[in-house]
Amino acid sequence: MLRRLLLPLVLGLVTLALTGCSAPREDQLFVYSARHYDSDTLLFERFTALTGIEVRVLQGSSDELMERLEREGVASPADVLLTVDAGRLWRAEQAGLLEPVDSELLRARIPEHLRHPEGFWFGFSQRLRVIFYNLENFDPATVARYEDLADPALAGRVCIRSSNNIYNQSLLASLISHHGVEETEAWARGLVANLARPPQGGDTDQILGAAAGECELAVANHYYYLRLLESEDPARRAAAARVGIIFPNTEDRGVHVNVGGAGVVRGAPNRENAVRFLEYLASDEAQAVFAGANFEYPVVRGAEMDPAIVAWGDLRLDSVAVSELGRYNPEAVRLADRVGWR
């Protein structure tokens, strides 16, 4: 479906740089987006085709966009904020940048644990943080849970990126939600003791480290691996073929899940259009594109998924409310600092 939808469309999309904007109009929607996928252009164009509402987009990093929203205040032209990770969505809500949405359609389509309890934001794709292992030198039967990464037997064998990374902060927050601060701190201290190298690079670098034998285990989001498998670079595809995947905790609470999501900006000039756009993102058509562009899981059950994800089967996913990941983010950051996870 995604490839069929990615046919060229005649409708235009205005993408703005991080400077300049124009006055809002009733037939317009202004999106501040931290997503950088070509397929999002299709989403905006399809929404325009269905509604007649022109979508204007300002792209930047999550931090850039949130700082801009704070500076602009009530004068902001923004209607929707698109970003990734519950930690960032929580920060936007805490900063007063979002306002609640009461939509029966969104409540019906999006599972309760994947949206803010008061409607400040909604998850539209799911991303799993999993464990990769070197196929030649590691027995996957010895690790079945995130908790196992702190086992002293794994000293010098684990790759993971910095605790400054929001994905790791959310993983820590999920462990705090399940185990409390004291137990999670002990786990994090054990994890740091097991690192094969100082934290460096992004998620892809952790997988490549495991493939090269620099470590035996690596923690990363699932789609980075699928990107490597689909890479045009034969060396990167070969690296992906040298690692296997462990889906942690499938025998108990389930694999840790985070979201890519969106919310309506506080004081949105075109609030009604913004709500219509969020509701469109929950449609089967939009779900296939929003999630499929990055090999992510849709949030709406029954929406089309990438064949590579389908092949993994019906995994048990952690149903802890992702809003908890945001709520515990400050404690996760402090905890990582206490144990020396840089």
User: What is the C-alpha to C-alpha distance for residues 154 and 322, in angstroms, rounded to an integer?
Assistant: 29
Checking if the pLDDT of 9 tops 70, the result is no
Q: Domain check: are 214 and 289 in the same one?
A: no
Instruction: Collapse the DSSP code of 57 into the 3-class scheme (helix H, G, I; strand E, B; otherwise coil) and give the result.
Output: strand
Residue 92's domain spans which residues?
Answer: 2-126+258-310
Residue 274 lies in a domain: yes
Together in a domain, 238 and 193: yes
Which residues lie across from 218 on neighbouring strands?
Answer: 132, 159
- Tell me the DSSP string of 208-270: HHHHHTS-SEEEEEHHHHHHHHT-S-HHHHHHHTTEEEE-TTTTTT-B-EEEEEEEEETT-TT
Q: Flag whether pLDDT at 147 surpasses 80.
A: yes
- For residues 304 and 160, give the distance between their C-alpha atoms in angstroms, rounded to a whole number: 31
Same domain for 174 and 89: no
Task: Confirm whether 36 is domain-assigned.
Answer: yes
Q: What is the mean pLDDT of the chain?
A: 92
Are residues 11 and 153 both part of a single domain? no
Which is it for strands 158-159 and 98-99: parallel, antiparallel or unpaired? unpaired
220-245 mean pLDDT? 98
Does one domain contain both 35 and 146?
Answer: no
Tokens of 297: 């899981």
Q: Is the pLDDT of residue 23 over 90?
A: no
What distances in angstroms separate CA 303 from CA 20, 85, 93, 124, one per listed residue? 37, 21, 28, 11
Confidence of residue 2 (pLDDT cuts 50, 70, 90): very low
CATH number of the domain bearing residue 215: 3.40.190.10
What is the distance between the alpha carbons of residues 116 and 134, in angstroms, rounded to a whole number?
37
Burial class (CB in 10 A: 0-12, 13-18, 19+), 314: exposed
Q: How far apart are CA 140 and CA 10, in angstroms?
A: 50
Residue in 46, 53, 56, 62 with CA at minimum distance from that of residue 121: 62
Residue 251: count of CB within 10 angstroms of its CB? 9
Indicate the residue type of 169.
Q
Using pLDDT thresholds of 50, 70 and 90, give the confidence band for residue 155: very high
**Residue 22 shares a structural domain with residue 47:** yes
What domain count does the chain have?
A: 2
pLDDT digits (tens, 9 = 90+) for 166-205: 999 999 999 999 999 999 999 999 999 999 999 999 999 9
**Does a structural domain hold residue 283?**
yes
In a domain, 318, yes or no: no
Is 213 contained in some domain? yes
List the end-to-end C-alpha distance of the chain, in Å, as a whole number: 42
Are 108 and 13 within one domain?
yes
List CB contacts of 25: < 8 A, sequence separation 6 or more: 54, 270
Q: Is residue 306, in this structure, part of any structural domain at all?
A: yes
Q: Are residues 150 and 89 in the same domain?
A: no
> Span 95-117, mean pLDDT?
97
279 touches 103 (CB < 8 A): yes
Only one residue has tokens 């389930």, namely: 254
pLDDT of residue 22: 46
Residues 331 and 215 in one domain: yes
Phi then psi for 260, rounded to 5 degrees?
-100, 135
Do 171 and 236 fall within a single domain? yes
Question: Do 91 and 169 form a contact (C-beta atoms < 8 A)?
Answer: no
% of the chain with per-residue pLDDT over 70? 92
